[in-house]
Structure 1
Amino acid sequence: MIFVTGGAGFIGANFVLDWLAQSDEPVLNYDKLTYAGNLNNLASLKNDKRHVFVQGDINDSAQLCALLFEYQPRAILHFAAESHVDRSITGPAAFVTTNINGTFELLEAARTYWLSLEDDARADFRFLHVSTDEVYGTLGPDDAAFSETTPYAPNSPYSASKAASDHLVRAYHHTYGLPVLTTNCSNNYGPYHFPEKLIPLIITNARAGKDLPVYGDGLQVRDWLYVTDHCAAIRRVLEAGKPGETYNVGGWNEQTNLSVVHTICELLDELQPKAEGSYKDQIKHITDRPGHDRRYAIDARKLERELGWKPKENFTTGLKKTVAWYMANDVWTKQVQSGEYLQWVAQQYNEDEVEE
C-alpha cells in the first residue's frame, strides 16, 4: 500500500486515479477536504476496495502515526498543501500551518514509523515530497531555466512556505537518513483543476459570459505541465529515484499568460462558438498582483537523463483535452463554484476572478 496526502485535491486526485488505473496496489488517501479538496474528484472509486479514504489533517500527528502503523505503507507521497499564490498574499497563516508545520508533523510521523520497520522494509521505504518550481523565484527573459541546483529565492508567502517544506525534507534525509525524494514541478493543468487557477478559471468564465481577467500586461511566462504527465513522472521517481535527490518536472511548454488565454478562447470559438464575436472580447486586464514573478521555466533534463521520463503531451494536445473535459463536466464545475469559493472571489477580486 502507498499513503497519499492531499489525494482529493487536483494533482493528488489525478495521481490516485492514474495509480489505480495502472496498479492493483491499494492507496490510503488522507485529505483534510478544505475548499480545494473534493471527494467528487474520486467518485469513480466509491466502491473500489483498493481506495481507502480517511479525512484528516497532516498536523494531527497522533492520527498520522496511528494510520501508518495500522496500514504499514511502503511509501508516503506528500501532495497536501495550500497552493494558491493569491490566497497566500491575503492569508499567509494557513500556508505556514499546512505547508511548513504540516510537513514537519508528517516527517516526524514518517520517521517514527520508518524506524520501526524491519531491515528490508526500512530499506525499501520512500517519502516522496511534491513541490513547485516557484521556490526558485523568478527568471529574466534570457535566463537559463531552473535546474535542481538553482538557488532558492521564493517571492510569495506560498513559495516561501513550500521552500521551507523542501528544506525540512532535505534535512530529514541528511540528519536522520530518512529516504526522501523531492519533485519540483511547473504549472499543472488538466481535469479536476479548481477554478481559481488560470486555465480552469478562463474556461469556466468564458463559457459563463464573464470577464476573463488577466494580470497586468499578461506577459508573465510559465511552463505548463499536463497533470497526467506529472503523475507519470512521480510514479517513475518513486520507482527509481535516488534517495536524497531532487528532480525537476516540466512540460517544455513556456507560454505567456495572455497567450494561454488567447489559445483557450480560440479553442472555445471552435468548439462552442458564441452567437456574435469571439471569447477574446471578454478579456479584461486588471491590476497586477504584488510581487508577481515574471517568468518560470523548468529544465527537466535530469529526470529524462537519469530516469527516462519525458512528457507525452504538448501544450496544444493537453489544452484541447482540458477544455473538452470542462465542457463535458459542467456538473462538477458548478458544485465546486459555490460557498466559500464565491465568497472569496467576491472579496479578492470584486467579481473579477484571477489566475495561477
Structure 2
Amino acid sequence: MKILITGGAGFIGSAVIRHLIQNTSHQVMNIDKLTYAGNLASLECVSDDDRYSFEQVDITNRIEIERVFSKYQPDAVMHLAAESHVDRSIDGPAAFIETNVIGTYVLLDVAMHYFSALSDTRRKLFRFIHVSTDEVYGDLSPQEQPFTESSPYQPSSPYSASKASSDHLVRAWHRTYGLPVIVTNCSNNYGAYQYPEKLIPVVILNALAGKPLPIYGNGQQVRDWLYVDDHAKALVAVLEKGKVGETYNIGGNNEQTNMAIVLAVCDVLEVLVPNKPQGLKTYRDLITHVDDRPGHDKRYSIDTTKIEQELGWKPQESFESGLRKTVEWYLANPS
C-alpha cells in the first residue's frame, strides 16, 4: 500500500514509519509541519529508503493537503498529527483547536473528495486510520473497570476535548459520507525519540543533570503505559486487518502511578549510571513535589480485549524491559 502518514516526524508517527519501512513492503509518504515536537532525526535510519518520502506540510492548509493527495495517490491515511501535551493545552488551547479539530476536518474533507473519485476497486481498499487517546474518556476511580471502546466521552483538558472533537468528526464522516474510517485510542506511550517534555524523558534528563524530578501533587495519578514500538505494530495491524467503522483501544496492560514511574527510572539509572552528579547520594533524592495540574485526571486504564481477540495483537514489551531500553536510548543519544 501507499500510506500517507500525518505527523510522521513526531514521537509515535516516527515509530510507525520506522516499523513500516523496516518490517513491511508498504510505501510511506510523511507529511509533518515540523513544530517543536517534530524531528526528522527520528527518521534518519529510513530516510534514504526508496519507499519513504517527506514533505513539510501543515494539515490545516487545504491547498497543500489537496496537492499531496493528488501527487501521491494514497491507498490509506494514518492520521497522527496532533498537539498532545496537556500542560501546553492549558496554557494555550488555541493551537490544539487549530491542529486537532480544524486540521482533522481539512484532512477528512479532502480525503472524502479524493475517495469519492477512486475506482471501485481502490475504494474497497482505502482506509482512514485516526489515532487518538484514552484521555477522551476522562478518568476513573481506583475501583472502576478499565475503559472499553463503548465508554462515554468525558474529556477533562483542552487537549483531550480537542481530541474528542476530532474523534466525533471522524465518525461523522463515516456515518454521513461513508468514508472508511477506523479510530484507535491509546494509553500513555514511552520509548526512544520522545520529546523531553513528557514524564519519562524529563525524569531521565533531569536526574542525569542533578536537577529536581518534579511530581504533580502526591504522585498517585495512575496511567497505563504502552511501549511505542508495540503501539506502532498495533496501528499497522489495525490498518491491515481492522474493521471499517470500528474503534480499537490500544494499551500496555501496565497501570503505574506517576510516583512509581519516577522511582523506576531512578532505579534503572542507579544501575546504568552509578556515577552521579557531585554530592548526590541517590537519584531518588531529587524527587520534588509541585502543585498539581488543574483538572488533573486521577486514573486511566484501558481494556485491550477487543484488539487482542479480533486482530491478534498484544504488547510484546514488559514495562521493565521497555523502560530499560528507553533509558539506554537516552544515554546513547544525548544530542
Match in the other structure for 2:289:
285
Match in the other structure for 1:107:
108
Whole-Å Cα distance in 2 between the matches of residues 41 and 293 of structure 1? 30
The AA in structure 2 aligned to 1:206 is A
After TM superposition, give the deviation of residue 100 of structure 1 in Å: 0.2
Match in the other structure for 1:118:
119
The AA in structure 2 aligned to 1:296 is Y
Deviations 1:155-201 (A, max 9, x none): 00000000000000000000000000010000000011000000111
Structure 1 segments unaligned to the other structure (5+ residues): 332-356
Match in the other structure for 1:352:
none
TM-score (norm 1): 0.92
Please report the RMSD computed on the Cα atoms of aligned residues, expressed in angstroms: 0.8
Match in the other structure for 1:6:
7
Whole-Å Cα distance in 2 between the matches of residues 244 and 50 of structure 1? 29
Q: How does 1:243-258 map to 2 (within 5 A)?
A: 243-258=244-259
Q: How does 1:121-160 map to 2 (within 5 A)?
A: 121-160=122-161
Over the matched positions of the two proteins, sequence identity in percent amounts to: 58
Q: How does 1:37-52 map to 2 (within 5 A)?
A: 37-52=38-53
Whole-Å Cα distance in 2 between the matches of residues 286 and 99 of structure 1? 29
After TM superposition, give the deviation of residue 207 of structure 1 in Å: 0.7
Match in the other structure for 2:299:
295
Match in the other structure for 2:171:
170
Match in the other structure for 1:212:
213
The AA in structure 2 aligned to 1:260 is I
Match in the other structure for 1:305:
309
Whole-Å Cα distance in 2 between the matches of residues 172 and 47 of structure 1? 36
Whole-Å Cα distance in 1 between the matches of residues 315 and 270 of structure 2? 27
Match in the other structure for 1:342:
none
Deviations 1:316-346 (A, max 9, x none): 1110110111111111xxxxxxxxxxxxxxx
- SS in structure 1 opposite 2:4? strand
Match in the other structure for 1:234:
235
After TM superposition, give the deviation of residue 51 of structure 1 in Å: 1.1
Whole-Å Cα distance in 2 between the matches of residues 165 and 274 of structure 1? 47
After TM superposition, give the deviation of residue 49 of structure 1 in Å: 2.0
The AA in structure 2 aligned to 1:283 is I
Query: Are 2:62 and 1:58 aligned?
Result: no
Match in the other structure for 1:337:
none
* Further displaced range: 296-305 or 37-46: 37-46
After TM superposition, give the deviation of residue 26 of structure 1 in Å: 1.5
Whole-Å Cα distance in 2 between the matches of residues 24 and 306 of structure 1? 23
- SS in structure 1 opposite 2:45? helix
Question: Does the 8 A contact of 2:112 with 2:179 survive in 1?
Answer: yes
After TM superposition, give the deviation of residue 305 of structure 1 in Å: 0.9
TM-score (norm 2): 0.98
* Further displaced range: 64-73 or 279-288: 64-73
- SS in structure 2 opposite 1:188? strand
- SS in structure 2 opposite 1:222? strand
Number of residue-to-residue matches in the alignment: 331
Whole-Å Cα distance in 2 between the matches of residues 258 and 31 of structure 1? 34
Whole-Å Cα distance in 2 between the matches of residues 23 and 296 of structure 1? 32
Whole-Å Cα distance in 1 between the matches of residues 261 and 3 of structure 2? 35
Whole-Å Cα distance in 2 between the matches of residues 43 and 309 of structure 1? 28
After TM superposition, give the deviation of residue 66 of structure 1 in Å: 1.3
Whole-Å Cα distance in 2 between the matches of residues 282 and 152 of structure 1? 37
The AA in structure 2 aligned to 1:316 is E
- SS in structure 2 opposite 1:101? helix
Whole-Å Cα distance in 2 between the matches of residues 47 and 251 of structure 1? 32
Whole-Å Cα distance in 2 between the matches of residues 307 and 54 of structure 1? 32
After TM superposition, give the deviation of residue 87 of structure 1 in Å: 0.1
* Further displaced range: 69-78 or 159-168: 69-78
- SS in structure 2 opposite 1:247? strand
The AA in structure 2 aligned to 1:272 is V
